[in-house]
């Protein structure tokens, strides 16, 4: 959507809980030789929040008023599949616009960033947008972070033969709950974060500021950030983007209830909820929610949760920033805007940020 995104986002509901998960995380799915050594190093790290973390996050979210869950819960394997369909819909132009912009400007971006970079993508999804950057920048390594484990593993597997000279590290995690990046030889060097899709819009402005500070910590003192930001635009366009006629946006949100049923032994009846996406001008955001069609009580792991008729469970925000507003937000988080690339219609901007002294 030309104006749209729907990436990540945890909300206030998550915090130190998932850090615990990271500390206790296990698993490596693949091994690859580190270039220049015979020593195998993991090419995939699984730091997904634990089931206990999930329970805590969902309980916190359902207790909040209004009820709201972290946006990353939308992305199980089916959620990731549905998100890809959304990106193909005629109403949702964000992906096409940002992809074209990256293709057009990859050379200029690579020249600006310079050589010898470790590229770290937050919320990589299918990792297709990064292609032109990998081509032009030839980073010393690329790390793709995403919460959707199987989808991420497939994305990394597809990328490796296409860019054989670039070590590709997949990290399944909630990046909003990470204090540091894992110790890994491929992550050593000058890090540049890549955060496309206007995914920062999933966070409230206050949480977005916190996230940008956290990215600074994850990327290190000389870390830089390339971030895609969707601009506010005509309300009809914005609302159409999140209400595609084919119904993928609705299916994507309703899949959250299927996920809760599966992962938390729930008894949500998705038919008893309808999807709603509406522009809230006072917050410059699209709010996406599942609205209860009637008064009802649902259970998760045997625990009852009541919904009044017309009560909303907010599944996601998509906050839109014009250039000045985003530069001001970034500055509050200690980032300085260095350069900006935009599509010809001014729908979306790519901001290159460096850390202020
Ligand atoms: C809106 S999609 C964007 C995908 C891709 N970057 C793009 O621009 O098309 C958001 C992606 O971020 C991932 N994601 C969302 N919240 C996350 C979080 N807190 N931690 C890690 N990944 C997250 C989702 O699984 C999804 O793949």
CA distance 171 to 142: 11
How many other C-beta atoms lie within 10 A of the C-beta of residue 235?
12
The verdict on residue 2 lying in a domain is no
- Segment 203-221 mean pLDDT: 97
Which of the pair, 76 or 11, is modelled with greater confidence? 76
| Index of the ligand 1 atom closest to the CA of residue 123 | 12
Distance from the CA of 123 to the center of ligand 1, in angstroms? 3
Same domain, 198 and 259: no
Contact 140, 178 (CB under 8 A): no
| Index of the ligand 1 atom closest to the CA of residue 98 | 8
The verdict on residue 1 lying in a domain is no
Same domain, 242 and 195: no
Domain interval for residue 278: 235-319
Same domain, 263 and 165: no
Q: Is the pLDDT of residue 11 over 70?
A: no
- Name the pTM for this structure: 0.92
Same domain, 208 and 198: yes
Same domain, 289 and 212: no
Q: Which residues contact 185 (CB under 8 A, 6 or more apart)?
A: 34, 41
Please tell me whether residue 196 adopts helix, strand or coil conformation.
Answer: coil
| Per-residue pLDDT, 334 | 97
Same domain, 267 and 201: no
Q: Is the pLDDT of residue 3 over 80?
A: no
Q: What lines the ligand 1 site, CB under 6 Å?
A: 5-10, 71-72, 75, 80, 83, 95, 123-125, 129, 145-148, 173-176, 196-197, 199
Same domain, 164 and 176: yes
Tell which residue, 238, 246, 249, has the closest CA to residue 290.
249
pLDDT per residue as tens digits for the range 62-78: 999 999 999 999 999 99
* Phi-psi sector, 319: left (phi>0), alpha (psi -120 to 50), beta: beta
If you take atom 18 of ligand 1, which residue's CA is the nearest one? 174
Which of the pair, 15 or 159, is modelled with greater confidence? 159
pLDDT per residue as tens digits for the range 91-101: 999 999 999 99
The verdict on residue 74 lying in a domain is no
Contact 132, 104 (CB under 8 A): no
What is the share, in percent, of the chain residues with pLDDT greater than 90? 88
| Per-residue pLDDT, 40 | 83
The verdict on residue 7 lying in a domain is no
Domain of 351: which CATH number?
A: 3.40.50.150
If you take atom 9 of ligand 1, which residue's CA is the nearest one? 197
One-character DSSP codes across 109-125: HHHHH-SSEEEEEES-T
Mean of the per-residue pLDDT values for the chain?
91
Same domain, 208 and 246: no
| Per-residue pLDDT, 357 | 80
The verdict on residue 47 lying in a domain is yes
Same domain, 165 and 292: no
| Index of the ligand 1 atom closest to the CA of residue 199 | 1
How many domains does one find in the chain?
A: 2
Same domain, 34 and 107: yes
| Per-residue pLDDT, 37 | 55
Same domain, 161 and 115: yes
Q: Which of 33-42, 106-115, 237-246, 251-260 has the lowest mean pLDDT?
A: 33-42
The verdict on residue 3 lying in a domain is no
């Amino acid at each position: 959507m030309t104006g749209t995104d729907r990436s990540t986002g945890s909300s206030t509901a998550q915090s130190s809980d998932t850090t615990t998960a990271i500390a206790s995380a296990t698993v490596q799915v693949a091994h690859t030789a580190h270039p220049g050594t015979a020593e195998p190093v993991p090419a995939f790290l699984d730091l997904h929040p634990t089931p206990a973390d999930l329970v805590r996050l969902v309980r916190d979210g359902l207790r909040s008023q209004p009820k709201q869950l972290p946006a990353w819960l939308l992305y199980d394997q089916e959620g990731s599949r549905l998100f890809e369909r959304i990106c193909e819909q005629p109403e949702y132009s964000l992906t096409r616009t940002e992809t074209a912009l990256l293709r057009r400007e990859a050379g200029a971006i690579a020249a600006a960033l310079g050589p010898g970079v470790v590229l770290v993508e937050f919320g990589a999804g299918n990792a297709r947008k990064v292609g032109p950057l990998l081509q032009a920048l030839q980073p010393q390594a690329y790390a793709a972070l995403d919460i959707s484990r199987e989808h991420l593993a497939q994305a990394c597997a597809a990328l490796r033969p296409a860019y054989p000279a670039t070590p590709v590290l997949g990290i399944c995690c909630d990046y909003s709950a990470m204090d540091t990046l894992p110790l890994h030889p491929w992550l050593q060097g000058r890090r540049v974060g890549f955060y496309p899709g206007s995914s920062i819009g999933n966070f409230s402005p206050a949480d977005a500021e916190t996230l940008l500070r956290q990215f600074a910590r994850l990327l290190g003192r000389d870390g830089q950030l390339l971030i895609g930001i969707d601009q506010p635009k005509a309300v009809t366009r914005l609302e159409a983007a999140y209400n595609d006629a084919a119904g993928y946006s609705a299916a994507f949100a309703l899949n959250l209830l299927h996920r809760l049923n599966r992962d938390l032994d729930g008894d949500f009846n998705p038919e008893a909820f309808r999807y709603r996406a509406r522009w809230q001008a006072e917050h410059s955001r699209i709010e996406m929610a599942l609205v209860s069609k009637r008064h009802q009580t649902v259970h998760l792991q045997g625990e009852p949760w009541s919904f009044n008729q017309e009560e909303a469970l907010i599944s996601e925000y998509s906050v839109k920033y014009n250039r000045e507003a985003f530069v001001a937000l970034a500055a509050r988080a200690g980032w300085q805007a260095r350069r900006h690339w935009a599509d010809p219609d001014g729908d979306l901007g790519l901001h290159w940020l460096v850390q202020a002294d």
